């Protein structure tokens, strides 16, 4: 099993080492192993899980919900809750899209003021 230490995982995921440790501490993304010295050792599957967590957390799901979504994403077969979470993610995406449109409108208005 090829493993990597937390610094390399941080580079691959774009997450800080502090955030990766936090996800381990709350049980969302524990490392697959530890070295004899106690250092966290991660596999490629762990990196993929961390990337999922990185995508889920900005959407406002609780830790429990995030864990459920991870279970769905990592399941070999569809889980009953999949459709419900899919709809919730779509709603979250639309809220974010609305905020982006509002930000774009504000940027346009401010740029107009700069160019006046």
Q: What percent of the chain has pLDDT over 70?
A: 100
Cα end-to-end span (Å), the chain: 62
Helix (H, G, I), strand (E, B) or coil at 33: strand
Q: pLDDT per residue over 28-82, tens digit each?
A: 999 999 999 999 999 999 999 999 999 999 998 999 999 999 999 988 777 788 9
Measured distance CA(73)–CA(68) in Å, rounded = 9
Mean pLDDT of the chain: 93
Measured distance CA(89)–CA(59) in Å, rounded = 7
Q: Name which CATH class applies to 1-61.
A: mainly alpha
Size of the chain in residues:
116
The pLDDT assigned to 86 comes to 93
The pLDDT assigned to 47 comes to 97
Q: In the structure, what pLDDT confidence band is assigned to residue 89 with cuts at 50, 70 and 90?
A: very high
Asked if pLDDT for residue 13 goes beyond 80, the answer is yes
42-46, 101-105, 112-116: segment of lowest average pLDDT: 112-116
The pLDDT assigned to 37 comes to 94
The pLDDT assigned to 108 comes to 95
CA angle 66, 57, 75 (to 5 degrees): 35
Domain boundaries, the chain: 1-61
């Amino acid at each position: 099993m090829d493993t990597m230490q937390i610094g390399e995982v941080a580079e691959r995921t774009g997450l800080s080492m502090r955030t990766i440790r936090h996800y381990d501490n709350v049980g969302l993304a524990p490392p697959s192993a530890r070295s004899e010295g106690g250092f966290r050792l991660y596999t490629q599957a762990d990196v993929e899980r961390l990337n999922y967590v990185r995508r889920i957390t900005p959407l406002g799901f609780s830790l429990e919900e995030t864990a459920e979504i991870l279970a769905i994403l990592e399941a070999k077969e569809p889980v009953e809750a999949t459709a419900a979470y899919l709809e919730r993610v779509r709603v979250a995406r639309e809220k974010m899209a609305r905020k982006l449109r509002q930000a774009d409108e504000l940027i346009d208005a401010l740029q107009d003021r700069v160019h006046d």
